[in-house]
Amino acid sequence: MSPLQVRTIARAPVAAGAAARLELLEFFLVHSDDIVRCAQASLDWLLRYAGVRQSACLAVDGEANLLVGIAAAGVPGEDIELFSWPLSDTRDPLVMAVNAPQPVSFKAARPNGHPQRGLPVTPLGPGAFVALPLRGVKESSHDGEGALGLLLMRGPSSITPDVQWLATVLGQKVEQIRGRGSLSEEVRKLRRERALFFTIINAVTDPILLTDTEGRLIVANARAEKLFASSEEESEGRRRAIELNNMLFSAALSRTAVVQPDPEARELLLVDPSDGSDLLFEVLSTTVEDPREGTGIVSVLRNITDLRRATEQIEENYQKLRVAEAAARAERDRLNLIIDSVADPIIVTDPTGSTVLMNAPAEEVFTVGFNAPEIAQRTVQANDAHFSSFISGLLLGVSGPGEIRRGEIALTNPNTQKPIPVEAIAGKVQSETGELTAVVTILHDRTEALERARLFEQLRLGADELQMRVQAATAELAQQNELLRRQAIELEQASRLKSQFLANMSHEFRTPLNAILGYTHMLLQGVAGDVQPPVRRQLSRIDSNGRHLLQIINEILDITRIEAGKMPLQVTDFDVNELVPEVMAELDPMIARSKLPVRQRLDPRIPMVRTDRQKVKQIVVNLLSNALKFTHEGGIDIEVSFEPAGRTASIAVRDTGIGIAPEHHEKVFEDFRQVDDSPSRQYGGTGLGLAICRRLASMLGGRITLTSNIGQGSTFTLIFPVEAEP
Amino acid sequence: MTDQTNALILVVDDYQDAREMYAEYLQFSGFRVAEARNGNEALEQAFALKPDLILMDLSLPGMDGWEATRQLKSDERTRHIPVVALTGHALAGASDGAKRAGCDSFVTKPCLPDDLVVEVRRMLNAVQKQV
């Protein structure tokens, strides 16, 4: 076992002068009863003055019959303190060296690396060394007696006088201290404590290290040695791993010392030299002050690789758990949201009938605040009772899974006290084993449905009534139509009868009138002989009145014919300029009697007209005879003109007669009307002439206009289209 | 054909005053006159006397003037005799009906005896011109 970092204080070996020897002896005097410190001072002295590189001091424990290490220089401290060698085997080279009178040299191990048989394992480690027996004054006198101890050293090629001197001085000092009987007990106690200490720290499964402020290793327990100490025989890989670990640890320590002087847990990643895997440690470093050793750092490394792995596992599981929990919560929230967003109350009941869950609409019906009015409290209780009795039927009944129970429950709104007719639909929820786990009930508010049904019924009644009314109205209408149809038939019949009657009447009038006029005419013709003038005058009266009567009858007949539609248009082509002279010729006797000048002004531009010639002529005859009748002086003008734009012809009859007041202009065209309606009227005529003219003009598609005033004459104008519509 | 002044005119009318009035005035005007009171008499007289012209009132009891005219005009013996219809019915269509029945002329009553004689002479002249 050779630590990488040994406690080597490099000092050039110098020959010890008198002063150096005096200094050591002085130390012996000061620490007269401390064998360990004296031995240590001696070894240090050897290193400094005698060119010794490594040395150890072993003492014989007579009682235990052991050779034990008490001090060392150039080698780890714990090694020497743990060193213990039995003295029972007298053939053992080291035991033999104790008993030898002279220093014994031990040869180095063979080049094959195996420890040389017979070469003892000493605190100096493998390799050649020299063992000097330590003897007191008394022992030196008794030859063959065992030495008090051994001084092992490696370094000078030969035993110098300084070494010889020191061995003598030290031997005497050891004898002196042991002579007082304190050495053995002292060393044994110390050894026990140290052994116990190392047993304890080796028993600790965590690596424990004591380093100096420079980072050099002072003490390490077995677990720490595995990580930080390697022997030369070990493989390259292990050595490199250990080297790396030492560097990492030093770096961690220096960081601790500089940055974090207070004890603080730090994490340190090391390499397992046995398999190369990563090991995570938690390093707890504490600075310790020792008056002898100076300042050191105690570091405890706790392997947290598994812990970390477990922690990570736990963290991972925790994350998974949280995700799962969040998902579950989201699902639950979603369900709650869905349930709450359903407008219908939903209640979940457990098998005992207790409510497990209800949504917001259900809460409105089945819950009420503590400070709510008493009536609301009672309503809620009543609602609860109604619901419970409904649900108990389902709970008691034996039924298979998926059974749905429907029923109507009369609930009341606790806040408004309005009745809520609901349809309850309850379904069982069963576990896989068929055990009833819950009952879900949905209450469907039927208020709206009932209201709708009521409105629908009203609507239907209204519609029925409306339909009946429509039917009644239709029937009445049909009846009215039938009545109207009959009336129309009757009217038509009446009209036909009237026309027939008038036609017959006119025939009946004509027959006797024919005889009256005929005989009067014959008498006036002198068929029965000469007629005396007075008789002639009387016959003339009969004749003129008979003619008047005939005219009346003819005009009545004309109106009847027009109204009966028995005077159809007979359209022919003719020249208006020829028609006017013809009318004048027809009325020539009357013109002659009137002694009035009748002038005609024809229009050469007028084209041939296509209309009912007979009707135009009848109108002009009528207008001219009227003009002659109502004009006493002046004259009469008949003027024909043509209006190319409207394609109308006009025949105006202008007289200088008595005239007609404007308020009577319309009246003169009415049936049986003259301006003078009195029975003793001055002018003859039936009063039907203009009425007939207006009707005839209308049949032609034309009209008759009148311009006149009292005393200023009258102008009647017939205006008609040159092409009549058939 | 006989001379116009000697022509025989058959006056058919159920109304005695009118028939006798026209007969009297036709004789006064120089014609020979025969009379019939209804359609049947008119046919008998027409076949028997072969008048030169028939004045036929259309409204007759029994066989009316239209029917009588149709028979006269469908018979070879009397087809050539001109028939002048006389009617008090002035409604449109009366003259058309008379024309369809075969009447050669149409006179509306009241008709003065003088006017009737003018029409009779015109018809006789027309027949003479045809011949």
Q: Looking at beta carbons, which residues of chain A come within 8 Å of B21? A: 515, 518-519, 522
Name the residue in chain A with its Cα closest to that of B17.
A515
Chain A to chain B Cβ contacts (< 8 Å) = 64
Q: Please say if the pLDDT value at position A112 is more than 70.
A: no
For A530-558, write each residue's pLDDT tens digit: 889 999 999 998 988 888 888 888 787 77
Asked if residue A717 and residue A584 are part of one domain, the reply reads: yes
What is the distance in angstroms between the Cα of B27 and the nearest Cα belonging to chain A?
Answer: 10
Establish if A334 belongs to a structural domain. no
> Contact A279/A272 with Cβ under 8 angstroms?
yes
Question: Of A537, A567, A597, at which residue does a domain stop?
Answer: A567
Name the residue in chain A with its Cα closest to that of B110.
A514
pLDDT top residue among A218 and B71: B71
Asked if residue A595 and residue A561 are part of one domain, the reply reads: no
Q: How far apart are CA A389 and CA A494, in angstroms?
A: 85
Interface test mutation site (partner B, options A509, A510, A539, max chain B beta carbons within 10 A): A510
Q: Please say if the pLDDT value at position B36 is more than 90.
A: yes
Q: Looking at beta carbons, which residues of chain B come within 8 Å of A568? A: 92
pLDDT top residue among A217 and A111: A217
Return mean pLDDT, chain A: 80
Q: Which of B17, B92, B114 is the closest to A566 by Cβ? A: B92
Name the residue in chain B with its Cα closest to that of A543.
B112
Q: Please say if the pLDDT value at position A206 is more than 60.
A: yes
Establish if A329 belongs to a structural domain. no
Asked if residue A210 and residue A187 are part of one domain, the reply reads: no
Cβ distance of A554 and B15 shorter than 8 Å: no
Edge-to-edge order in the sheet of strand A217-220: A217-220, A208-212, A294-303, A278-290, A265-271
What average pLDDT does this structure show over A439-444? 85
List, in order, residues 6 or more apart from A536 with CB less than 8 Å away.
A524
Q: Looking at beta carbons, which residues of chain B come within 8 Å of A551? A: none
Q: Which of A514, A519, A522 is the closest to B109 by Cβ? A: A514
Return residues 556-615 of A near B (CB < 8 Å): 557, 561, 566-568
Asked if residue A166 and residue A61 are part of one domain, the reply reads: yes
Q: Which of A508, A550, A561 is the closest to B92 by Cβ? A: A561
| Domain assignment of residue A44, given as a range | 18-200
Name the residue in chain B with its Cα closest to that of A564.
B91
Q: Which of B24, B25, B90 is the closest to A557 by Cβ? A: B90
Question: Of A567, A588, A621, at which residue does a domain stop?
Answer: A567
pLDDT top residue among A293 and A643: A643
Cβ distance of B28 and A503 shorter than 8 Å: no
- Please check whether residue A522 touches B, CB under 8 A: yes
Return mean pLDDT, chain B: 85
Q: Please say if the pLDDT value at position A294 is more than 90.
A: no
Question: What CATH number belongs to B4-119?
Answer: 3.40.50.2300
What average pLDDT does this structure show over A636-641? 94
Q: Looking at beta carbons, which residues of chain A come within 8 Å of B64? A: none
Cβ distance of A522 and B90 shorter than 8 Å: no
pLDDT at A611: 92
pLDDT at A432: 79
Q: Please say if the pLDDT value at position A244 is more than 50.
A: yes
List, in order, residues 6 or more apart from A56 with CB less than 8 Å away.
A43, A69, A71, A72, A73, A75, A80, A83, A122, A123, A124, A151, A152, A153
Q: Looking at beta carbons, which residues of chain A come within 8 Å of B90? A: 506-507, 510, 554, 557, 561
Cβ distance of A566 and B93 shorter than 8 Å: yes
What average pLDDT does this structure show over A374-388? 85
Q: Please say if the pLDDT value at position A263 is more than 70.
A: no
Q: Which of B24, B28, B88 is the closest to A510 by Cβ? A: B88
Q: Please say if the pLDDT value at position A129 is more than 50.
A: yes
pLDDT at A680: 47
pLDDT at A6: 37
What is the distance in angstroms between the Cα of A648 and the nearest Cα belonging to chain B?
Answer: 28
Q: Which of A513, A550, A567 is the closest to B92 by Cβ? A: A567
Q: Which of B18, B59, B92 is the closest to A515 by Cβ? A: B18
Cβ distance of A503 and B89 shorter than 8 Å: yes
Q: Looking at beta carbons, which residues of chain A come within 8 Å of B112? A: 517-518, 521
What average pLDDT does this structure show over A394-405? 67
Asked if residue A607 and residue A625 are part of one domain, the reply reads: yes
What is the distance in angstroms between the Cα of B108 and the nearest Cα belonging to chain A?
Answer: 10
Domains of chain A: total: 5
B93 — pLDDT class (breaks 50, 70, 90): low
Q: Which of A512, A518, A527 is the closest to B112 by Cβ? A: A518
Buried b (16+ CB within 10 A) or exposed e, A18-40: eebbeebeebbeebeebbbbbbb
Q: How far apart are CA B13 and CA A511, in angstroms?
A: 11
Per the omega criterion (within 30 degrees of 0), is the bond before B110 cis?
yes
Q: Please say if the pLDDT value at position A11 is more than 70.
A: no
Establish if A181 belongs to a structural domain. yes
Q: Please say if the pLDDT value at position A450 is more than 50.
A: yes
Q: Which of A277, A293, A295, A294 is nearest to A285 (CA)?
A: A295
- Please check whether residue A525 touches B, CB under 8 A: yes
Question: Of A567, A595, A624, at which residue does a domain stop?
Answer: A567
For A655-677, write each residue's pLDDT tens digit: 998 888 888 888 888 776 666 65
Interface test mutation site (partner A, options B91, B95, B96, max chain A beta carbons within 10 A): B91
Lowest mean per-residue pLDDT among A1-15, A136-150, B24-38, B56-70: A1-15
Establish if A71 belongs to a structural domain. yes
Q: CA dist A58 to A35, A71, A151, A171, A679, Å? A: 11, 7, 6, 11, 190
Q: Which of A503, A511, A525 is the closest to B91 by Cβ? A: A503
Asked if residue A184 and residue A86 are part of one domain, the reply reads: yes
Asked if residue A351 and residue A288 are part of one domain, the reply reads: no
Domain CATH number, residue A222: 3.30.450.20
Lowest mean per-residue pLDDT among A86-90, A395-399, A619-623, A643-647: A395-399
Asked if residue A420 and residue A457 are part of one domain, the reply reads: no
What are the residue boundaries of the structural domains of chain B, listed by start? Answer: 4-119
End-to-end CA distance of chain B: 9
- Please check whether residue A511 touches B, CB under 8 A: yes
Q: Which of A70, A94, A73 is nearest to A82 (CA)?
A: A70
Q: How far apart are CA A317 and CA A75, in angstroms?
A: 51
Alpha carbon A581 to its chain's center? 102
> Contact A638/A713 with Cβ under 8 angstroms?
no
A391 — pLDDT class (breaks 50, 70, 90): confident
Cβ distance of B91 and A519 shorter than 8 Å: no
Q: Looking at beta carbons, which residues of chain B come within 8 Å of A503? A: 89, 91
Q: Please say if the pLDDT value at position A401 is more than 70.
A: no
Buried b (16+ CB within 10 A) or exposed e, A129-158: bbbbbbbbeebeeeeeebbbbbbbbbbbee
Helix (H, G, I), strand (E, B) or coil at A74: coil
Establish if A588 belongs to a structural domain. yes
Q: Looking at beta carbons, which residues of chain B come within 8 Å of A566? A: 91-93
Q: How far apart are CA B79 and CA A52, in angstroms?
A: 196
Interface test mutation site (partner B, options A505, A508, A511, A523, max chain B beta carbons within 10 A): A511
Cβ distance of A507 and B89 shorter than 8 Å: yes
Establish if A381 belongs to a structural domain. yes
Asked if residue A215 and residue A196 are part of one domain, the reply reads: no
pLDDT at A32: 66
How many alpha carbons fall within 13 Å on the CB side of residue A78?
22
Cβ distance of A522 and B21 shorter than 8 Å: yes
A135 — pLDDT class (breaks 50, 70, 90): confident
Q: Please say if the pLDDT value at position A481 is more than 70.
A: yes
For A69-85, write each residue's pLDDT tens digit: 888 887 765 567 677 78
Tokens read off for A391 = 């649900």
Asked if residue A172 and residue A54 are part of one domain, the reply reads: yes
Helix (H, G, I), strand (E, B) or coil at A440: strand
For A673-683, write each residue's pLDDT tens digit: 666 655 445 56
pLDDT at A139: 47
